[in-house]
Amino acid sequence: MKNLGCNCSSRTLIIIFIHIIIHILVSPYLTYAEEFDPVIQLPHSGSNITQTRSKRVFSVLDYGARGDGHHNDTKAFLKAWKIACSISRSTKVVFPFGKTFLVYPTDIAGPCRSKITLRILGTIVAPQDPSVWNGLNQHKWLYFHGMNRLTVDGGGRINGMGQEWWARSCKTNSTNPCHPAPTALTFHKCENLNVRKLTMLNSQQMHIAFTDCAHVVASHLKVLAPAFSPNTDGIHISESKGVEIKDSVIRTGDDCISIVRNSSQVRIRDISCGPGHGISIGSLGKSESEAWEKVQDVHVNGAYLYNTDNGVRIKTWQGGQGFASKITFQNIVMENVSNPIIIDQYYCDSKHPCDNQTSAVRVENISFIDIKGTSATEEAIKFACSDSSPCEGLYLKNIFLESCMGGNTSSYCWQAHGSTRGLVYPPTCLSRNHDFIRQKVWLDSNSAIDSI
């Protein structure tokens, strides 16, 4: 070989030639990789750990999920969640669009190291066979607890596949034994929680439950189940403080929204409800509990109720202890609603008659303001209060509830004390109480807080 103007040996030239050939063969693949992943690196010791820690989005498909609606994707979900939850930066666990993921009863415990988002773009479905829950907690399907700064969103669906549960319910067939059924989505002891832009379908029993939670916002939800489905409350709030529910559509076989013991600072606005059992406070005082059960500082402002068995309702059992206080139902339109406005301190959801009791949960400082529409029952306003603990501080302003069948509507009052302002139809039957001044101060201060 001739000297080409350099002092390279034949061995050196051969090595250079080999490198040129390798570069020509490999460079297209490097260019392709760089186009889609500019941070791609050659393998080196510890690279897998580094990549996992730097990753922010975890698709369940990357951890073995099939997404075909038939194979069990629970383990894949839990694997993705465990890794995402362990990272100190905000992360997302994703159920991708266009897939259906079968998820078995699942317990997701916190806390996570940082903010985490569960993004449901596709559909999550429950097992159809109730026997899957044998030996497990039959009250829960997807159970999140001990979480802080959790967001659940994405525009996807969560389907409880509750048809078999409904068929076995004693509410559907009185000859069936009464057994518990799962709540589709339960949040327990969660703080700074955001649930939004989801469709909940056909839960086995309740659709969404917030228990012992604080600082919750639930918005832009669709909660859907047939009118005949038993105990399928849309959103259930228990022992929680600082809960806001807004801009949602709820059509179920039970209460659209139920608020029960030891809940406070609840704000509900712009809700479409029906069919179902309306918006309910209670049941309080069941089983003559020695513990006080209280619900206070609840404001429903803006709702459309149609074809519901009740409108806005407070219900308590005889024999209980506690109170329901500082509750306002305002700016509500009703269409073909039975029992549009009702307080019932003699509530009895039992196969057997309930015995009369002397003690009762107190009901006080309850306001009904700007409520209009049509009643499916003649008795559009019903206040059935306790002899030993009458309802005090009831306030009605600008009420007009006419019959959807023609004719007149009426009011019923028993041990109910309060006052009215503006047009109230049907005419009130309230006894004027002695706490009108105290009540007016509370109403004025409540309006001032809401205007801030």
Distance CA(180)–CA(169), nearest Å, equals 9
**Given the residues 277, 299, 417, 434, the one annotated as active site:** 277
Q: What is the DSSP string of 250-306?
A: EE-SS-SEEE-SSEEEEEEEEEEE-SBS-EEEEEESGGG-SS-EEEEEEEEEEEEEE
Q: List C-alpha distances in Å: 335 to 133, 252, 315, 339, 428.
A: 40, 16, 22, 11, 21
Are the C-beta atoms of residues 295 and 284 closer than 8 Å to each other? yes
Question: Which among 147, 235, 238 has a CA at the least distance from the CA of 192?
Answer: 147
The continuous run of DSSP H or E covering 330 comes out as strand 322-337
* Locus of tokens 């801009």: 247
Q: What is the DSSP string of 48-108?
A: HHHHHHH--EEEGGGGT---EEEEE-HHHHHHHHHHHHTSSS-EEEEE-TT-EEE--SEEE
Question: Which among 166, 300, 150 has a CA at the least distance from the CA of 235?
Answer: 300
Query: Which tokens is 297 given?
Result: 């500082």
* Single-letter amino acid, residue 330: Q
Q: 216: exposed, middle or buried (C-beta count within 10 Å: 0-12, 13-18, 19+)?
A: buried
- Per the document, the length of the chain is 452
Half-sphere exposure of 358 (CA within 13 A, CB side): 0
- C-alpha 75 chain-centroid distance: 25
207: annotated active-site residue:
no
Question: Which among 406, 411, 384 has a CA at the least distance from the CA of 396?
Answer: 411
Instruction: Give the catalytic positions in this structure.
Output: 277
